Amino acid sequence: MVRFIAEKYLKKNIAERYAYGKACGVLGILLNVLLAVSKIIAGFAAHSLAVMADGLNNFTDVLSSLISFLGFRFAEKKPDKVHPFGHGRYEYIAGIAVNAVICVFAAALIRSAILKIRRPSFTDWDFLTLGILAFSLAVKWYIYRYNHKYAEIYHSETLEACAADARFDILMTTGLMVTMGAERLFALPADGWVSLAIGGYVLYEGIHGCIESVNPLLGVSPDEKFVEKVREIVTKHEGILGMHDLSVHDYGPGNLIISLHAEVNAKESLMTVHKWVDEIERELKEQLDAEATIHVDPVQTDDPTFLRASELLSEYLEKNYPGCRTHDLHVTESDEGISAAFDLVIPYDYRVPDEKVLEDVRAELAKENILAQIIVDRAEYR
């Protein structure tokens, strides 16, 4: 069914991701409207307020699916003068909105549960009610499965949020059925306590989902596998000695902009290095779908003073400040002496204050009559 609907959206130059995302949203709207209408009609016919209330709840699920659909619809818009990097982050915003709906629903469920604990009562039900709930479970399981499936394929927080919404409905409906059984077998009004437990769990997961959806907007460190893939592509080229200062900016799925520094022999010609950089940028686009900007750092590979300073720094940091390292080392000699300018990478939350590390490194270089000019760098994956 999802594939059938997705094909309606698959047009030239439109990402497959957005086609399937919109298809999941449309199918979610249709199935939740079907559930809502059937439950309300059945509840009215059976004079069951519980079933009618559950049907009204399905209209909030329609809202979640609608938000998902609109998120993918807006995310696929082409870049324009106001938004030159595209609109892909609309998908992340949709994920936040869906999780926010889940949190509101959970808070309402907790409130109702507390009221029911204070004034316990038995749930009025019959086999028609039970049949409707079983049908709802089957539909919700299908909604969960296709959302979760395509969330994993396309790494979509929005689809995962819709899957979580369906999973919570399954949990709530199952809890209601367990409550009915407990009341019938043991004459225990357990509905309030079961609903409270489910509401608390759903609220926790909804808040966690909001955080996961917010992270791409705030900016997070790239995945280690992604970093290693970039490093592999860059350093496999003959003449590239190393890579550092990788920055990754996520403007939505399939719209990554990265920058990095590539180390080359200082004696290589500008034209040769430019050719290497062009090839690397093209490969990064082809293999990772990332627009790359590469800064070239010359390395004085045959300068004995440079080699001495580099070896001194490596040995000292490894022995005294493990985890710290240097890059962008440039050594110059003049009548005033030797000067070494470099970036010192100090990990976040390092056990020693920056000032202490800088003081000790400067002092160690001063023993060799080297004046240090140091810039502190932070990114652990650089």
* Alpha-carbon span 273 to 215, nearest angstrom: 36
Q: Is the model's pLDDT at 178 over the cut of 80?
A: no
Average model confidence (pLDDT) across the chain = 83
* Domain end (from 178, 199, 218): 218
Residues 250 and 190 in one domain: no
The answer to whether residue 373 is domain-embedded is yes
Residue 208 lies in a domain: yes
Residues 280 and 324 in one domain: no
Cβ-based neighbours of 158, under 8 Å, separated by 6 or more: 21, 68, 71, 72, 91, 92, 94, 95, 98, 151, 213
pLDDT at 7 over 50: no
Pair (210, 154) in one structural domain: yes
Kindly state the average pLDDT of the residues 188-197. 74
Contacts of 122 (CB under 8 A, 6+ apart): 183, 189
Domain match, 56 and 195 both: yes
Mean pLDDT calculated for residue range 282-302: 89
Q: Are residues 175 and 247 in the same domain?
A: no
Q: What is the pLDDT of residue 53?
A: 64
The pLDDT value recorded for residue 261 is: 92
CATH number for the domain spanning 233: value is 3.30.70.1350
Pair (207, 335) in one structural domain: no
Alpha-helical (H) ranges within 249-303 are: 270-288
Domain contains 382:
no
CB 338 within 8 A of CB 355: no
- Residues spanned by the domain of 338: 304-377
Phi, psi of 18 (to 5 degrees): -70, -35
> Do you know the residue count of the chain?
382
pLDDT at site 229: 92
Report yes or no on 337 lying in a domain: yes
Tell me which of 133 and 361 has the higher pLDDT: 361
Residues 112 and 212 in one domain: yes
pLDDT in tens, 197-226: 878 888 888 898 888 888 888 887 888 888
Q: What is the CATH number of the domain that holds 51?
A: 1.20.1510.10
End position of a domain, from candidates 299, 319, 340: 299
> Band of the pLDDT at 336, cuts 50, 70, 90?
confident
Residue 342: CB atoms within 10 Å: 21
Contact 65, 25 (CB under 8 A): yes
Decide if 143 contacts 35 (C-beta within 8 A): no
Same domain, 210 and 285: no
Q: Where does a domain end: 164, 199, 218?
A: 218
Share of the chain above pLDDT 70, in %: 87
Q: Which of 214, 259, 226 is nearest to 89 (CA)?
A: 214
22 and 151 share one domain: yes
What pLDDT, on a 0 to 100 scale, did the predictor assign at position 48? 55
pLDDT digits (tens, 9 = 90+) for 101-132: 888 888 887 888 888 788 876 666 667 777 77
Whole-prediction pTM = 0.70
Q: Is the pLDDT of residue 42 over 80?
A: no
On whether both 206 and 238 belong to a single domain, the answer is: no
Residue 198 included in any domain:
yes
The answer to whether residues 268 and 328 belong to one domain is no
For residue 9, what pLDDT is reported?
44
Residues whose CB is less than 8 angstroms from the CB of residue 321 and which lie 6 or more positions away in sequence, other chains included: 352, 357, 360
- For residues 212 and 349, state if they share a domain: no
* Secondary structure of residue 240 in the 3-state scheme: strand
Q: How many CA atoms, within 13 angstroms, populate the side-chain half-sphere of residue 84? A: 2
Q: What is the CA radius of gyration of the chain?
A: 29
Contact (CB, 8 A) for 231 and 245:
no
Task: Report how many domains make up the chain.
Answer: 3
Helix 16-46 to helix 49-75 angle (10° resolution) is 170
Share of the chain above pLDDT 90, in %: 19
